[in-house]
Structure 1
Amino acid sequence: EEYRNKGVAYCPHCDGPLYKGKRTAVIGGGNSGVEAAIDLAGIVSHVTLVEFDSQLRADAVLQNKLRSLPNVDIITSALSTEVLGDGEKVEALVYTDRLTGVSHRIDLEGIFVQIGLVPNTEWLKGPLQLSPRGEIEVDAHNATNIPGVFAAGDVTTVPYKQIIVAMGEGTKAGLSAFDHIIRH
């Protein structure tokens, strides 16, 4: 929290260019984390991917691409424990090796947190059809399984969890709801 927007970021597409030529870390070894590390590797001087689990969970094709990049290190079985800085900007990430218990420091300028999100849809279980990940299932018009109910944003099955995507999806949902009302 102390270094949010001072070196801790959540969107490699939005903030990645701010770290051009710098050392960064990505926390998370699922598809989002590996994709972020691949994207960042083309911008920054070095990327260290830090994963809590003993192996990456991303699709094999993404893992293969990541491993082919010369400026990427992958650390598994790592518990990220602390972000260090000078009060104004990030200087390092500290993690504990979960197998040995030894603490390590990675000197860097940026940390991208890509550990995935859990949609806040618990209260919708039952009436709305949810994906196995808990996202509201929508069609191309943002309609749910209940006629007249529309959904938009990161809480839905729409890919690319970005603010601009959510805004566009919100517009689609509004237009679809308007169309539904005038037709019924």
Structure 2
Amino acid sequence: AYCPHCDGPLFKGKRVAVIGGGNSGVEAAIDLAGIVAHVTLIEYDSELRADAVLQRKLATLPNVRIVTSALTTEVHGDGEKVTGLSYKDRNADAHHDVDLEGVFVQIGLVPNTEWLHGAVALTTRGEIEVDHRGETSQPGVFAAGDVTTVPYKQIVIAMGEGSKAGLSAFDYMIRTVPAEEDVEAA
């Protein structure tokens, strides 16, 4: 899963892993710890990269185990559901298995916006810069969803942003006089 808020309740009382030790991963682990039986947070780096305040909160949760310097190598399943995962300890070169029922990927995703370079303004991370109406730097071009600068990359928010961008595009179109009509009026 990619959204602890959307899918977390489906794992109530179960064991899950969160892959990623940045702010998103630690926030997901904190949120899930209140729902699930146990969270194993797996971080590739030798230390978590999340803000210190989040790390302090995470450290207070009794049902969370933090594993650093770990390379997730495989997610196991029985054909219908997740049953566990394997990771490699990057320091000791040992392999470990964790029994669980769910995996939440929180490693950060790169937007697929290469084709937009030069067409609209993008952040250094490749997100499409939008205003409060979903309008990009190119007049008449609107964007919505996880690929934009809108915070909280989740399905329900992307849907709402899509609706807003669609309404904004419609408003733009009805207020923009087509060039041929503008010439005839003159």
**Same fold per superposition (TM over 0.5):** yes
Say if 1:148 and 1:43 are closer, same or farther in 2 by CA, change over 3 A. Answer: same
Q: Which moved more, 1:35-44 or 1:15-24?
A: 15-24
Residues 84-140 of structure 1: CA deviation (Å, up to 9, x unaligned)? 233333222110001110011112121111121110111111221111211001010
TM-fit CA distance, 1:25: 0.7
Deviations 1:45-94 (A, max 9, x none): 11110011112122222222111211111111100111223333322211
Residue in 2 aligned with 1:33? 25
For residues 96 and 86 of structure 1, the distance between their equivalents in structure 2, rounded to whole angstroms, comes to 21
**1:115 aligned residue (107, 115, 126):** 107
Out of 86, 90, 93, the position equivalent to 1:94 is 86
Q: Tell me, which stretches of 5 or more residues in structure 1 are unaligned?
A: 1-8
Query: Cα offset for 1:165?
Result: 1.2
From 38, 62, 82, the equivalent of 1:46 is 38
Does the residue aligned with 1:129 lie in a helix, a strand or coil?
Answer: coil
> 1:128 is paired with a residue of what secondary structure?
coil
1:171 is matched with 163
Unaligned residue ranges in structure 2 (runs of 5+): 177-186
| Structure 1 letter corresponding to 2:32 | L
Q: How many residues align?
A: 176
1:147, distance to aligned residue in structure 2 (A): 1.4
RMSD: 1.3
Higher relative contact order (CA closer than 8 Å, sequence separation 6+): 1
Q: State the distance in 1 between where 2:71 and 2:120 align.
A: 36
- Can you list the C-alpha shifts for 1:141-170, whole angstroms capped at 9, x where unaligned? 111111111111111001111222111111
Query: Which one has a bigger Cα radius of gyration?
Result: 2
Amino acid in the other structure paired with 1:29: G
Query: Are 1:15 and 2:7 matched, yes or no?
Result: yes
Whole-angstrom distance in 2 between the partners of 1:61 and 1:176: 38
| Local SS of the residue matching 2:98 | strand
Question: 2:128 and 2:91 mapped to 1: Cα distance?
Answer: 38
Distance 1:143 1:29 in 2: 33
Q: Percent identity?
A: 76
Cα distance between partner residues in 2 of 1:78 and 1:28? 10
Superposed counterparts of 1:129-168, under 5 Å = 129-168=121-160
Partners of 1:143 and 1:49 in 2: CA distance: 37
TM-score normalised by the chain length of structure 1: 0.90
Distance 1:54 1:142, change over 3 A: same
2:63 corresponding residue in structure 1: 71
